[in-house]
Structure 1
Amino acid sequence: MQRRRLIEGVGSFLCGVVLSAAVYETGLRRPGGEGEAAAAEATGELATAGDPAPEPEAPAISPADASGEAPAIAADTPEAPADPYTPDANGTFVAFPPVYVAPPEWTPELEATFPRHGLVTGVATVVRERTERDAPILGILRAGARVRADAELSFGGGCTKGWHKVYPAGWICLNAGLEVADSPPDDGLVATPRARLDAAMPYEYWRVSHDGTPFFHRLPGFGEQDQADMAAKTWLAEHGRSLMPTTPSERPPGVPAVVKEYLNAGFYVTVAGEAVKSERKFLRTLRGTFARKYQLEQREGSTFQGLVLRGEDDLPVHWIVRETPLQRRSGEGEGLVKLEDKKPTRRSRHPFVRKVTVGNARFYEDAEGNLMPEYAVGQSYKLKRPPGIGPEEKWVHVDLSEQTLVAYVGDRPVFTTLVSTGKEPGMTPVGVHRLQSKHIATSMRDQPVEDDAYSIEDVPWTQYFHNNVALHGAFWHGGFGLVRSHGCVNLSPPDARWLFGFTEPALPDGWHSVTPSTGRFGKASAVVVTE
């Protein structure tokens, strides 16, 4: 199967050892450093969004077709089962596991410990283990999150405005963006859309369609736009697709101060709203910048969904990963005949019963004698639980040769789907790993000189398990079942959302990310990667 992995290395994207700024908004820059969220603790420079944007309502789920495609799952409705392990008629899930730990009963003891109310106003507010700016990060909260806080400020540790202890754990520096009062602060201070937790896509995603697209600090005038466009044209002519520096002192003199940065075609941003100036439409990003709408294109992401497994008899599952006709033996020697009228669709399932060798090639064969080349099939199979994983633990198995994922509770498989892993051997590390951090969304950027530079704001449902390598949703392609990434394990957005709620630990109520490697939130789920 190694040969199959090598011939699939087309269309690579995202993650792995080339990642240079994996977590823009979380302050967990990989490797080293703590990024912009940590800097906000010291400087008090808070990034808040512009005008309020209403949260769009996601559509309710409908049954998948034979290929496993279905609309993204929306918020719970009276008709939707609450059990995420209940499949529909096609075997796909009809509900997501919860993202958050169920809030506790608020006892008098908790009220006495955390009597005050907090509202997060920073784009990414860090929760630290101690009142020190270099203390381990327990998690991240985004603008609009509400917390309960202790009564008195604590000072020191590099935070000029002081720290508050928050429920259920950790400390927040007020410089990073936190309003605290005796009663809940007015959320009119925040104008950032909340993540849609019961949808496959937590935010609205748009692709940059033009090289050198300017993103502005504020809505620009016609003259400023023309000046920005001329500067971009000149830069592209001299430097190609290399990104222009964001530091004003390092830019050419013709760039107007209203430009925050330039992005190239193929980069992605998350959009919080729309604005109009001088009859021209602009999109406002979650980071508070503006870009002309005609230079971006909205992306919805694949609706492919994996299978909920009812029992051990559900495995193996055979997925069609290349759309090729079934074949049969000709009856004369080992000759084969393609059955052009029997071509299963890609990402559908077929009931193969065994592997056979015909000549020098390997095939899967069904009960009727129909054959499919081995390289065109991905198999989900049952793996023995590795040592160190408990009999009731939730864990995940990724097979690099098959490009499949199976989720388990102890020895019982409960879910399986297709994935896309690293395009080259070694990019997705083999072994037994534990989740290091979980993020509802986190930004990833790599800017090499070659053509596969990328910048993606708010990659959804990201779960790091080995350095820069993560499980996450991929809305920019639908090639699941074929290798594609720089090392990460790409899933469809619905599958990534399901898996995010399945793995442990769950996030504290209202948090945007959590760092289970600190040991403060229980044992993290294992991710087992095999060849």
Structure 2
Amino acid sequence: MRLALRRVLLPLVLLSTGCASDPPPPRPGPVAAPENAGAAVLPARAEPTSGARVAIDAGADAEAPVAKDAKGARPRLGSIGYTTWIVSDKLAKNRIGQVRPGTTIPLRSEAPVELPRRSDHGRCKSGRLYEVEPRGYVCEDDTVTRDLEGPLFRALAFAAPREGARPYDYAFTTRAPMYGKLPTEKEQRRAERRMWPIEKLAKVRRSTDGHEDLDELTPPKPTGPMPDFLAQNPELPLPIGRREGLVRKEIPYGSMLSFSHSFDAGGRTFLLSPDLTLVPADRVRPFRPSSFRGVPIDEAHPLPLGWFRKKPRPRYRRDERGSFVETGEPWAPRTFVGLTGKKVEHDGDLFWETREPGPIYARARDVSIVREPEEMPDVVAPDEKWIDVSLGGGTLTLFEGKRAVYSTLMSPGAGGVTQDPKMKTEELVRAALTPLGRYRIAVKYRATQLTDEATPDPTSFWISDVPWVQYFRNPFAIHAAYWHEDFGSPKSGGCINLSPEDAMHVFGWTEPHVPEGWASVEARRDALGTWIVIRK
């Protein structure tokens, strides 16, 4: 079943389940965009990595000390709720980024700016805004903290994302409670009495839509001791904007969970999610990391080169009669080979000469060729960065002018190669197609939740903490896919799927740059996003 992306332009939420890949069996998911999206989306919450794990408390006295960074040089402001917005001016009208709960952003001064007139408060009801680095303001509201050692911020910081391509561990869920406290055995039995018995979960059907390509039946094991804040109090702190209760909500079958830690409590392993809930490990199927990544284009690996995609492909050599025969040592899926640029036609087949000694040949229909463009796209300046995407070839290549610097495989929409560049967004979404055309990166998120619900706290379906998201045309984005590694083949609901390693590399290379402590950033007129050129 293909993931159907409803065209829903919802304010304040990042929508893109449909981009993620083919749908989970229980419900197809869509994509939607929030306000200020322009050509792309600005979701209500983004889930990024970020700065020092100290912070400040909305209810604290105005004279309370401000959190400092590791060197004590700069004051910092912390987030404890959804959503901490970064705005462009004191009227707080234009949202230009976000701060993730449990992380901090550097301030330009310790004291907030006070707006004297209530009519000037705009979206910031307190009338007090902190000026943040390198630009913009954050309202002093209940999502920020000035308490350096407050239990809520410390817990959120403990569950904050780590450095690297996978900021969290991830799992496919078979339906599970998200506990707001460390439950007793009796509470567990009561909360889970209508769910599948643990011993039968291995028999629950596996998804055939691509969302379980990398998951495993063995539950996650404990990776460390119980967090100190749980050992002292079985009740988990409640982030601003989240619901209370023994079971704060259930994560449905088909949704995907991110978790920072796993530990044993009473003989059962629990997973700590970033929103400070506990999920039983025996009710999820963890995703193993993909090892796939692309290749830098340099003297060791110049263009042209050829990528092999889903299947092993034979190597060929020429015999004494000039015929092409298989060597018996095929190229593995998702590998590449350097090409000399020479082609030979034989018996109706075309072969590329590779740089492997012999010489060794690759059959043209087995490889996706990446080469220097004969002409630059007319929208791109001579030395400007741009991204070339070939839907038919399943490749994504980074260029600086005509010079390629990196190449990899990507997964476009599961509907195949888009034929009409004038297709409307609704048509693309229905057909799970990736749009053709030229676009600039408009909004970037270090990581974010993908859902079709107009809330930062969905209940029906969501994909947690998808890393390295870059929107170029609402609702389409480049992003990591941690649930499959079928890169090079059509797979998504319309977005461009990359491996986490590749997505992180591309994210760091493109503009606009995401400043320290920011979860997301929107392109501006004086800091335009990188061009992406999508062709057949």
TM-score by length of 1: 0.67
User: Is 1:153 the counterpart of 2:114 in the alignment?
Assistant: yes
Deviation at 1:174, TM superposition (A): 2.4
> How far, CA to CA, are the matches of 2:487 and 2:279 in structure 1?
31
How many Å apart are 1:468 and its aligned residue? 1.8
* Corresponding residue number in structure 1 for 2:472: 465
In structure 1, the residue matched to 2:281 is 293
Name the counterpart of 1:164.
129
User: In the aligned structure 2, how far is the partner of 1:131 from the partner of 1:17?
Assistant: 33
**Would you say the 8 A contact 1:304–1:494 is kept in 2?**
yes
Return the alpha-carbon distance in structure 2 between the equivalents of residues 372 and 394 of structure 1. 30
Map 1:414-425 → 2, pairs under 5 A? 414-424=405-415, 425=417
**Shift of residue 127, structure 1, vs aligned partner:** 0.9
Distance change (3 Å), C-alpha of 1:275 and 1:326: closer
Verify the 8 A CA contact 1:15 1:469 in the aligned structure 2.
Answer: no
Change (3 A) 1:454 1:412: farther
**Counterpart among 493, 501, 505 of residue 494 in structure 1:** 501
Distance of 2:306 and 2:511 partners within structure 1:
28
1:289 Cα deviation from its structure 2 partner: 1.4
Separation in structure 1 between the aligned mates of residue 465 and residue 43 of structure 2, nearest angstrom: 18
- 1:126–1:176 contact (8 Å) kept in structure 2: no
> Deviation at 1:145?
1.0
User: Displacement of 1:462 after TM fit?
Assistant: 0.9
* Separation in structure 2 between the aligned mates of residue 145 and residue 16 of structure 1, nearest angstrom: 35
What is the match of residue 88 of structure 1?
none
Please say if residues 512 and 529 of structure 2, whose CA atoms lie closer than 8 Å, have aligned partners that are also in contact: yes
**SS at structure 1 position matched to 2:193:** helix
Per the alignment, in what secondary structure is the counterpart of residue 337 of structure 2? coil
Change (3 A) 1:190 1:445: same
Task: Note if contact 1:118-1:179 (Cα within 8 Å) is conserved in structure 2.
Answer: yes
**1:379 counterpart (364, 369, 374):** 369
SS in 2 for 1:464: strand
Q: Which amino acid aligns with 1:129?
A: S
Structure 2 portions without partners, runs of 5+: 17-30, 48-52, 55-68, 198-204, 207-243, 419-432, 454-459
* Counterpart selection for 2:168 from 204, 208, 223: 204
Identify the residue that residue 530 of structure 2 maps to in structure 1: 525
3-state SS in 2 of match to 1:172? strand
Q: Secondary structure at the match of 1:159?
A: coil
1:138 to partner: Cα distance: 0.5
Q: How does 1:250-399 map to 2 (within 5 A)?
A: 258-310=246-298, 314-321=302-309, 322-327=311-316, 338-339=326-327, 341-352=328-339, 353-355=341-343, 363-366=351-354, 372-383=362-373, 384-399=375-390
In structure 1, C-alpha distance between the alignment counterparts of 2:477 and 2:43, rounded to whole Å = 22
Alignment of 1:213-224 (within 5 A): 213-224=176-187
Match of 1:436 in 2: 442
Q: d(CA) in 1 for partners of 2:486 and 2:192?
A: 35
Whether 2:400 is the aligned partner of 1:409: answer: yes
- For residues 499 and 346 of structure 1, what CA distance do their matches in structure 2 show? 22
Tell me the secondary structure at the aligned position of residue 301 of structure 1.
coil
CA distance in 2: counterparts of 1:436 and 1:525, whole angstroms: 8
Alpha-carbon deviations, 1:62-86, whole Å to 9, x = none?
A: xxxxxxxxxxxxxxxxxxxxxxxxx
- How far is the alpha carbon of 1:225 from its aligned partner? 2.5
Preserved contact between residue 78 and residue 105 of structure 2 (Cα < 8 Å): yes
* AA of the residue aligned to 1:323: P
C-alpha change, 1:313 and 1:278, in structure 2 (3 Å) is closer
Alignment partners' CA distance in 1, 2:333 and 2:9:
30
Shift of 1:223: 3.3
Q: Is the CA contact (8 Å cut-off) linking 2:161 and 2:168 kept in structure 1? A: no
How far apart, CA to CA, are the structure 2 residues paired with 1:309 and 1:22?
A: 34
Gapped regions of structure 1 (runs ≥ 5): 1-10, 41-46, 48-52, 55-102, 235-239, 242-255, 448-452
Aligned partner letter, 1:223: K
Counterpart of 2:377, as a letter, is P
Letter in 2 for 1:528: V
TM-score, normalized by length of structure 2?
Answer: 0.66
Could you tell me how far apart the structure 2 residues matched to 1:502 and 1:157 are?
35
Q: In 1, distance between residues paired with 2:15 and 2:84?
A: 13
Letter in 1 for 2:32: R
Deviation of the 1:140 alpha carbon: 0.9
Q: Deviations over 1:189-220 (max 9, x none)?
A: 332244334x221x22221342x222223233
Q: Deviations over 1:465-512 (max 9, x none)?
A: 111211112221111122211111111111111111111121122111
Alignment-derived partner of residue 85 in structure 1: none
Written as runs of structure 1 = structure 2, the 5 A alignment for 1:229-244 is: 229-232=192-195
Paired-residue identity, %: 26
CA separation of 1:354 and 1:402: change in aligned 2, threshold 3 A:
farther
State the one-letter code of the partner of 2:315: L
State the 1:292 CA deviation: 0.5
Q: Distance between the aligned counterparts of 2:381 and 2:446, measured in 1?
A: 26
* Equivalent AA in structure 2 for residue 306 of structure 1: G
Q: Distance in 2 between matches of 1:393 and 1:345?
A: 34
Q: Secondary structure at the match of 1:349?
A: strand
Indicate if the aligned counterparts of 2:103 and 2:517 stay in contact, CA closer than 8 A. Answer: no
Name the amino acid aligned to 1:205. Answer: D
Q: 1:461: Cα distance to partner? A: 0.9
Please give the secondary structure, in 2, of the residue aligned with 1:230.
coil
Out of 492, 503, 507, which is 1:485 matched to? Answer: 492
1:362 positional shift: 5.2
Aligned length: 415
Counterpart of 1:251 in structure 2 is none
User: Could you report, residue by residue, the CA deviation over 1:70-111 in whole angstroms, capped at 9, with x for unpaired residues?
Assistant: xxxxxxxxxxxxxxxxxxxxxxxxxxxxxxxxx9xx9xxxx9
What is the distance in 2 between the residues matched to 1:496 and 1:401? 20
Q: Which moved more, 1:318-327 or 1:153-162?
A: 153-162
